[in-house]
Amino acid sequence: AQSVTQLDSQVPVFEEAPVELRCNYSSSVSVYLFWYVQYPNQGLQLLLKYLSGSTLVKGINGFEAEFNKSQTSFHLRKPSVHISDTAEYFCAVKGYSTLTFGKGTMLLVSP
């Protein structure tokens, strides 16, 4: 079985500040890891994914995430956020079965 924990349900931040959204997972097998973003009233779109190789993964819109196997984490970071980054962010893990999503973190960027 696999599971995902997103440690913060909401993260408020000011524009141009850095942000980190935390994600921890558990799985008994090797995993693939994903971050998806959902803008208001839209579907989910892929931000980035870790399949293998370099543990630092770069995605769209200036986001990056680091896979840490020893800490079973896959935290998402951005050095300087924009108002347009306001959205809900979902971490997801895939073992040999289907995707399991975390409950989401709402990123609220204010001026």
Partner 1 sequence: NAGVTQTPKFQVLKTGQSMTLQCAQDMNHNSMYWYRQDPGMGLRLIYYSASEGTTDKGEVPNGYNVSRLNKREFSLRLESAAPSQTSVYFCASSEGVQETQYFGPGTRLLVL
Applying CB under 8 A, which residues contact partner 1?
9, 32, 34, 36, 42-46, 49, 90, 94, 97-99, 101-104
Token pair 């951005």 is found at: 78
The residue among 15 and 44 lying less far from partner 1, judged by its C-beta, is 44
DSSP secondary structure string for all residues of 16-40: T--EEE-EEEEESS--EEEEEEE-T
Q: How far is the CB of 25 from partner 1 (least distance, A)?
A: 13
Q: How far is the CB of 10 from partner 1 (least distance, A)?
A: 11
Distance CA 27, CA 75 (A): 16
Q: How far is the CB of 101 from partner 1 (least distance, A)?
A: 4
The residue among 17 and 51 lying less far from partner 1, judged by its C-beta, is 51
Q: Provide the phi-psi class of 78: left if phi over 0, else alpha when psi is between -120 and 50, else beta.
A: beta
